[in-house]
Amino acid sequence: MTTTQVPTSTGAPVIGAGVTRVDGPLKVTGAVPYADDLAPRDALVGVLVGSTVAAGEISLVDTSDALAAPGVVAVLTHHNAPAVIRPNEASSDERAPMPPFQDATVRFRGDYVALVVAQTHEEAAHGASLLHVTYDATEPVVDLNDPRATRETDDPAGADSTRGDLDRGLAAADVVVEADYVTGDNTNNPLGLFAACAQWDGDALMMWATTQWPFNTADCLAEAWGIPREDVRVVCPYLGGGFGSGLRPWPYIHAAAMAAKVVDRPVRIVLSRPQMFTGVGHRPETVQRVRLGALRDGTLTAVEHTATIPVAMDDDNPENVVSGTRQGYAVEHLRADVDQVRLHISPPGSMRAPGEAQGNFGLETALDELALELGIDPVELRLRNYAHTNPDQDDLPWSSKALDECLRRGAELIGWDDRDPTPRSMREGDQLIGYGMAAVSFFYFQQPCTVRVVVRRDGSAAVHCAAMDIGTGTYTVVTQVAAERLGLELADVEVVLGDSSLPASPPAGGSGLAMAISNATARAVTGVLGDLELGSAPGRDALSRAVGDRDEVAAEATADKPDPAEVGMSPSGAFGAKFAKVRVDADLGLVRVERLVSVIDCGQVLNERTARSQVVGGTVGGIGHALLEHTTTDLHAGPQTGRITNAHLADYLIAVNADVPDLEVEFVGGPDRLNPVGVKGVGEVGLCGVAAAIGNAVHHATGRRIRRLPITPDLLL
Amino acid sequence: MHPFTYTRVDDVDAAVAAVTTDAVARAVQVPEDAAFIAGGTTQLDLMRDGVWSPGTLVDISRLPLADVEVEDGDGDDGTVLVVGAAVTMADLARHAAVAGLDVLRDSLLLAASPQLRAMATIGGNVLQRTRCRYFRDPTVSQCNKREPGSGCAAVEGTARMHAVLGVDAGCIALHASDLAVALVALDARVRLHGPDGVRTLPVADLHVRADDDPARDNVLTPGELVTHLEIPVPDARTGYLKVRDRASYEFALTSAAVVARVEDGVLAHVAIGLGGVGSVPWRATRAEEVLRGRPASLALFEEAAAAELADAFTLPGTDFKPELARRTLVRQLRDVTEVTA
């Protein structure tokens, strides 16, 4: 592992070392304050009611029985809910999800039609069951292949790209492979059910809510209610998993604010598990076509990657399925294109490696097919087309890239060269053995992040930022960065996160937070040390002396993305190589992963323990993506229902321990050149590539090419 | 969830009285929609999902039905395990008397999750309701099991975890128990205690096929309570094979419980239960007929498995199941008999 380890005053390494999580004791003792734990105890409880049709208009809501039920205080519908403005997402010009109860239109099955507010959850749930809603239903469009669906070609994700001349590249090719790839819809399914509690004080709103982005949630609520931003505060110090589902300001958060306004008391909402399938986003299915042209020696002459993904009615969700393709390989002629098809489905959102996870499966499976066609080793094929500069950004040199090292080291670890490369050639009893691999070139994502560093009279320090820790270790790595640069013990640094009243932060998403907040912290430390006229890492005594008789000295700093042209480099995301060894039962089609090796270049590793944990967690998600996870919707022969048929954790299959071998993770490469801490995000690269590596291993084991996720036993019979 | 009342009873007669609709005769006033509850691992889900709204729950988890006794069997039977209905799946799986009875132990240990096995009882397991997600969603109006005559949404919908045997277009609900599949292969019996006394039934006769009457899960009369299972310990080798996407905590795509004794190369005894395929725990009598008394061979196993699945009712989502079930049965016959050719 290549990391710089800087000792503290006591000689213990801080950066890179696998120090234990600073919030570990709180977590293992159950003392962590999740957002819902902070809700006022006297809050009323709201239960949301979803539509039972997928399209149409609400014609009647009869609330009389519900209102007469014990404990029920109010029922919110589009007739009596406050009108609010639909906000935009701070990160883009896209519309945030539509606040609920603003009109009679039903846009998907499960779209909220009412909120029943009662003294207890049980009373609210009972009241909800007594609500009588009738609809003027229309026939929904829920199938990606439905010819009636509107096809949006305006490229909201900025995904489309053409370079060179595709036809020329194809004409120059000795070999062309072309195939369609399908990835199923997935649901994030964090274990922690999402919750929101709203409390109004006059026209000021206090919100405790499950969110990966408190700052943006506060922005959106202020915009929705037309109230000053400083009068909105959103707090989420911890959540029980996110995987992207907490990135958008979802309707249930608005519902809590509306209800609290109407009843003039705090109102708390906890989503049910089925509501977690329709209320907080999902990874949209994709249909992709990949066409690769190559010379006999493996040189790619042309790459075409097109994809169709769904988007909800009256919603935006930029999801770039082809970003990895655009920057992955040195190919002169390329066409990448993503179309969105508008359906009556619940609004999609980001799910760990959004777009990348699906697109990587298409591209890296196609490359495996090409390697076989050419008789070239799949690792060698990738090295032969290695992008030494970024073909998607004016061929600028990467700010850091060690993908070649990832590939070579991964091959070595799994014993790649010891396998018999012939498909269906390796067998032990009933079990067919297969090896497969995939490469990942993850996108770079960075948004402005501001951090305030406070040095107190006693020489200890605090770091403040609105960003939140979704369990990945943000509290810990920020503590490490601040401690190292101030010369403090970890225990002398307090990190305060998850509160929109703190300095502005980007989301805990896009693999971008560790880089943003680390560099902002480093800059703020530099600022405060300058104000104190101290050199680097002065230590607690010097800090205390410099603060003198003041209470504290604070400095703020912002980290932002660099201008590539100005710095003459292409800012790099993480790179990775995944190698899988699978066993497939020759008769029963059961695929079990025996080994999974991930070699990752994420620049400077801030904390070997939390970084490894990120890759391990991502890989578990990747195994689910490859073999298990699939949100299925009714596909009736007749009129569609748009109903999800497996919206429960017993039926939606997440990988369990028995599906996951001891995962092997190594880090290679060195600090990135474009930021002072040298770090690149590692949140999503762990998931990406796992599905293609497993699918390619299944092909090697069985000789069967499955171009569809998840790869289930019935596809292999 | 609708409001309900909850009572706990201490003996079997009181339990039966508490849910019997003939309230006047027994001098106990009870609502007509009273029901027993023990582990509650299925029932609470059904209540939360709004599929089932009993007025009264009679808690039978404290009844003295939590013992496993090993008794001498009648006539040709060897020993018989008499298992109280309130024994949990976890407790039965680790009972010494089950250690050598692979088909029973594995059907328990491969089911559900450790948490569920610690709560769920044997009696409740055999009576568990279908996992059909059309049945379990009250917003789906077509369900002949919930509303007789309303139709079957699953037949036109996305059916994968559904049955292909003992079903027709009126209902394709699967009986998802693993344990019950082993029990039918073991010729187990169920002891029932009802308002009119005690009776004993083969487990294979307990459930009602969906193609006979989708609205009825089983032949229990109102107020009847499962008190014990009687499980003969066979003089045979046994095994349970469960095939599923996920390596743990998932219902079977297909499964096979095999009880077999080979004497001089001939199948002297064979009994087979199939899971993941039937509207009831499926006793594979056709396959058994093909096998019984004939020389064991892989070709014979193929013939038997094909015979059993010949009349499967399949839909686009379940059309893989007969083939997977055939392969599952052949594999398990091979492994239990150790026949290699």
Q: In chain B, what are the domain boundaries?
A: 1-64, 68-128+175-337
- Domain B68-128+175-337: assigned CATH number: 3.30.465.10
* pLDDT, chain A, mean: 95
> Matching CATH topology for B1-64 and B68-128+175-337?
no
Catalytic positions of A, written as ranges: 684
- Boundary residue ending a domain (A560, A580, A611): A560
What pLDDT does B21 receive? 58
Interface residue ranges in chain A relative to chain B, Cβ cutoff 8 Å = 52, 70, 122, 125-126, 129, 430, 587-590, 592, 627-628, 632-638, 641, 643, 645-646, 648, 650-651, 653, 655-659, 710, 712-714, 717
What pLDDT does A142 receive? 94
Q: Are A657 and A579 members of one domain?
A: yes
Q: Are A665 and A647 members of one domain?
A: yes
pLDDT in tens, B62-118: 999 999 999 987 766 689 999 999 999 999 999 999 999 999 999 999 999 999 999
DSSP assignment of B180-217: HHHHHHTT-EEEEEETTEEEEEEGGGTB--TTT-TT-S
Give the pLDDT band (50/70/90) at residue A2.
very low
Question: Which two three-digit tokens encode residue B52?
Answer: 């089932």
Q: Are A609 and A510 members of one domain?
A: no
Q: Chain A: residue nearest B321 by CA?
A: A714
Q: Are A109 and A239 members of one domain?
A: yes
Q: Are A511 and A585 members of one domain?
A: no
Taking a contact as any Cβ pair under 8 Å apart, which residues of chain B between 291 and 320 contact chain A?
320
What is the widest separation between alpha-carbon atoms in chain B? Answer: 66
What pLDDT does A101 receive? 98
What DSSP character marks residue A192?
S
Option in B158, B247, B324 nearest A714 (CB) = B324
Contact A704, A585 (CB under 8 A): no
Q: Are A129 and A257 members of one domain?
A: yes
pLDDT in tens, A272-290: 999 999 999 999 999 999 9
What pLDDT does B25 receive? 44
Q: What is the mean pLDDT of residues B29-53?
A: 85
pLDDT in tens, A314-339: 999 889 999 999 999 999 999 999 99
Q: Is B298 exposed, middle or buried (0-12, 13-18, 19+ CB in 10 A)?
A: middle
How far apart are the C-alpha atoms of A555 and A553, rounded to whole Å?
Answer: 7
Shortest CA distance to A423 belongs to which of A698, A59, A28? Answer: A698
Shortest CA distance to A310 belongs to which of A279, A280, A346, A275? Answer: A346
How far apart are the C-alpha atoms of A332 and B145, rounded to whole Å?
Answer: 61
The domain of A688 spans 381-443+572-716
Query: Across the strands, what pairs with A135?
Result: A58
Strands (E), A51-174: 56-62, 72-76, 105-106, 112-118, 132-137, 150-152, 161-163
How far apart are the C-alpha atoms of A425 and A308, rounded to whole Å?
Answer: 36
R_g of chain A, CA atoms, integer Å? 26
A350 in any annotated domain: no
Q: Are A434 and A471 members of one domain?
A: no
Shortest CA distance to B301 belongs to which of B293, B312, B290? Answer: B290
A625 in any annotated domain: yes
C-alpha pair distances (Å), B295 with each of A156, A362, A475, B256, B265: 68, 50, 68, 20, 5
Give the pLDDT band (50/70/90) at residue A17.
confident
A13 in any annotated domain: no
φ and ψ at residue A291, rounded to 5 degrees: -125, 125
How far apart are the C-alpha atoms of B87 and B120, rounded to whole Å?
Answer: 8
Contact B165, B274 (CB under 8 A): yes
Report whether pLDDT(A236) > 70: yes
Tally of CB atoms within 10 A around B79: 14
Contact A210, A35 (CB under 8 A): yes
Nearest-CA distance from A381 to chain B in Å? Answer: 32
pLDDT in tens, A547-570: 999 999 999 999 999 999 999 999
Contact B256, B328 (CB under 8 A): yes
The interface predicted TM-score (ipTM) is: 0.95
What's the CATH number where A526 sits?
Answer: 3.30.365.10
Secondary structure of residue A271 in the 3-state scheme: coil
Report whether pLDDT(B27) > 90: no
Domain B1-64 part of CATH 3.30.43.10: yes
How far apart are the C-alpha atoms of B175 and B217, rounded to whole Å?
Answer: 9
* pLDDT, chain B, mean: 93
The single-letter code of the amino acid at A447 is Q
H or E stretch covering A359: helix A356-374
A672 in any annotated domain: yes
What pLDDT does A637 receive? 65
Strands B266-275 and B254-263: antiparallel
Q: Are A200 and A58 members of one domain?
A: yes
Q: What is the mean pLDDT of residues A127-145?
A: 95
Q: Are A463 and A410 members of one domain?
A: no
Contact B313, B159 (CB under 8 A): no
Give the pLDDT band (50/70/90) at residue A4.
very low
Give the pLDDT band (50/70/90) at residue B26.
very low
Nearest-CA distance from B269 to chain A in Å? Answer: 26
What pLDDT does B278 receive? 98
A214 in any annotated domain: yes
Residues of chain B neighbouring A656 (CB-CB closer than 8 A): 246-249
Q: Are A439 and A450 members of one domain?
A: no
Option in B139, B251, B328 nearest A52 (CB) = B139
Q: Are A65 and A198 members of one domain?
A: yes
What pLDDT does B172 receive? 98
Give the pLDDT band (50/70/90) at residue A5.
very low
pTM: 0.97
A312 in any annotated domain: no
Does the distance separating the beta carbons of A717 and B156 come in below 8 Å?
no
Q: What is the mean pLDDT of residues A478-491?
A: 96
Q: Are A437 and A468 members of one domain?
A: no
How far apart are the C-alpha atoms of B272 and B187, rounded to whole Å?
Answer: 10
C-alpha pair distances (Å), A228 with each of A216, A217, A220, A223, A224: 14, 14, 11, 8, 11
Assess B156–A contact: CB distance below 8 Å, yes or no.
Answer: yes
Peptide bond into A266 cis (omega under 30): no
Give the pLDDT band (50/70/90) at residue B28.
very low
Secondary structure of residue A38 in the 3-state scheme: helix
Q: What is the tally of helices (H) and strands (E) in chain A? A: 17, 28
A196 in any annotated domain: yes
Lowest mean pLDDT among A82-91, A158-167, A300-309, B195-204: A82-91
Give the pLDDT band (50/70/90) at residue A432.
very high
How far apart are the C-alpha atoms of B313 and B305, rounded to whole Å?
Answer: 16
What pLDDT does A13 receive? 61
Nearest-CA distance from A615 to chain B in Å? Answer: 21
How far apart are the C-alpha atoms of A677 and A666, rounded to whole Å?
Answer: 20
Handedness of CA A496, A497, A501, A503 (dihedral sign): positive
- Boundary residue ending a domain (A223, A253, A278): A278
Residues of chain A neighbouring B134 (CB-CB closer than 8 A): 645
Question: Which two three-digit tokens encode residue B244?
Answer: 């599923």
Does the distance separating the beta carbons of B245 and A648 come in below 8 Å?
no
A1 in any annotated domain: no
φ and ψ at residue A679, rounded to 5 degrees: -95, 150
Assess B2–A contact: CB distance below 8 Å, yes or no.
Answer: yes
What pLDDT does B1 receive? 76
Does the distance separating the beta carbons of B139 and A643 come in below 8 Å?
yes
pLDDT in tens, B198-218: 999 999 999 999 999 999 999
Secondary structure of residue A213 in the 3-state scheme: coil
Q: What is the tally of helices (H) and strands (E) in chain B? A: 11, 12
Give the pLDDT band (50/70/90) at residue B222.
confident
Q: What's the domain count of chain A?
A: 3
Residues of chain B neighbouring A717 (CB-CB closer than 8 A): 320, 323-324, 327
What pLDDT does A339 receive? 94
- Boundary residue ending a domain (A514, A538, A560): A560
How far apart are the C-alpha atoms of A635 and A641, rounded to whole Å?
Answer: 8
How far apart are the C-alpha atoms of A239 and A233, rounded to whole Å?
Answer: 17
DSSP assignment of B10-34: SSHHHHHHHH-S-TTTTT----TTE
**pLDDT > 90 in chain A, percent:** 93
Report whether pLDDT(A72) > 50: yes
